[in-house]
Amino acid sequence: MKVGTVAGTVVSTVNTPLLDRRLLLCDIEGMQGREGYTICVDVVDAGVGDTVLILDEGNSARQILGVDTGEIRAVIVGIIDQIDLD
């Protein structure tokens, strides 16, 4: 899983049925700052500016959404309150 920050929303009308959901554009955060971005499906109602936990693995993503097959990989699975690094 990855730590990300929600940067904004992606609005789309024409899409595959499975992706007719709330999509958020998230910056992926690394130890040295941003490491790219990914468009994620949101199942926890995260908002812009939230630090989130991003799951980027297809089988787990499908499990969360309750489907056996589907073109889905990145899902926001948590909103992070705090990260402690020693």
Of 11 and 85, which CB lies nearer to other proteins in the complex structure? 11
Find the shortest distance in angstroms from Cβ 86 to other proteins: 30
Find the shortest distance in angstroms from Cβ 40 to other proteins: 8
Of 24 and 84, which CB lies nearer to other proteins in the complex structure? 24
Residue in this structure with the two tokens 């941003």, named with its chain if needed: 34
Contact by Cβ (8 Å): 65, 77:
no
How far is Cα 71 from Cα 15, in angstroms, rounded to an integer? 11
Find the shortest distance in angstroms from Cβ 61 to other proteins: 8
How far is Cα 8 from Cα 39, in angstroms, rounded to an integer? 10
Of 16 and 86, which CB lies nearer to other proteins in the complex structure? 16
Contact by Cβ (8 Å): 62, 70:
yes
Residue ranges that bind other proteins, judged by CB under 8 A: 7-16, 19, 23, 25, 27, 37-40, 48-49, 58, 69-74
Contact by Cβ (8 Å): 23, 15:
no
